[in-house]
Homo-oligomer: A and B are copies of this chain.
């Protein structure tokens, strides 16, 4: 439903959104929510809605051709679970559209066996059933569709942010992008740093429980796949609001913190993407409940600022001075 980080290329902001909205966004008569959020919503009759999302991983774009297939199977489902998490939806079913080069489609193939193990490890954890599959030959392309359920009218939309909402981030940002910088040999991490960051890149944790628990607490949510600045920007655009955030509050791991005085680390933190953490907004009255939820889930939830009147984003340093942001995210189709 949205763009994703691209390990192997750099991309210009928002080209994907232009394509989808220009050519494919049409009013939907029966769907409650069509193209433009993390998932689409359609009504069921039993006071529930179904949420639908699709995300594709392409070899040479989203992953290197020699990526461990177990991790790839895992990640291809994780990025889709993340979309549903951002809607507050419980995942139920998945479909898999696998385009495979002939070299990977031979009998008793370890690649396929490992891929399916990674996929199903995560599927079983969340009781997601793979109900449909299509395999075809061609350049490696992994499309996953996910379908979930959410109580009627309760889904967390990008457009729900309200004035004076606090802006929260789950977990830590930037580790996946840091690992990628290392894999691309742009930086050289220490072995303990690699061990810390690589799982964030190859086996991200979708915040499935958090998303569902945010219903009744949060006004809006998005998953951070393109980087904080870009994805928070989507909330602001959809909600027609501005945000005032403290960059020093943006949660980062001790590994990323070690490099924070170098430009690449700030890029990783704010615009790296592939984080699959949730960015959500909630009224101040829910501050304590959110802190309690953080304890309960053993998951850091950090308040980084608040929703204000206006357009765009105000970013401040530790002294409260405004900082001009340059690199706002990545996108497809430009290099």
Contacts and interface: CB of A to CB of B under 8 A. Distances in A.
B42 A105 contact: no
**Chain A at the B interface: SS class:** mixed
A1 B45 CA distance: 27
Contacts of A217: none
Contacts of A316: none
A272 to B, nearest CB: 18
Interface in A23-55: 23-26, 28-31, 33-35, 39-40, 42, 44-46, 50, 52-55
A130 B61 contact: no
A112 interface: yes
Interface string A225-261: 0000000000000000000000000000000000000
A140 to B, nearest CB: 9
A31 B95 CA distance: 12
A32 to B, nearest CB: 9
Given A44-B45, A93-B42, A129-B26, A135 B58 contact: no
B35 A130 contact: yes
A286 interface: no
A192 interface: no
A14 to B, nearest CB: 12
Interface stretch (A96-104, A275-283, A317-325): A96-104
B42 A45 contact: no
Given A28-B130, A59-B138, 17 more contacts: A24-B133, A26-B129, A28-B131, A29-B129, A35-B130, A40-B132, A45-B45, A54-B96, A54-B134, A56-B143, A58-B141, A61-B136, A97-B143, A105-B333, A137-B332, A139-B141, A145-B145
8 contacts: A2-B134, A20-B135, A28-B130, A33-B131, A34-B132, A35-B133, A52-B131, A58-B141
Interface of A: 1-4, 6, 9, 11, 15-16, 18-20, 22-26, 28-31, 33-35, 39-40, 42, 44-46, 50, 52-56, 58-62, 92-93, 95-100, 102, 105-107, 112-113, 115-116, 119-120, 127, 129-139, 141, 143, 145, 147, 332-335
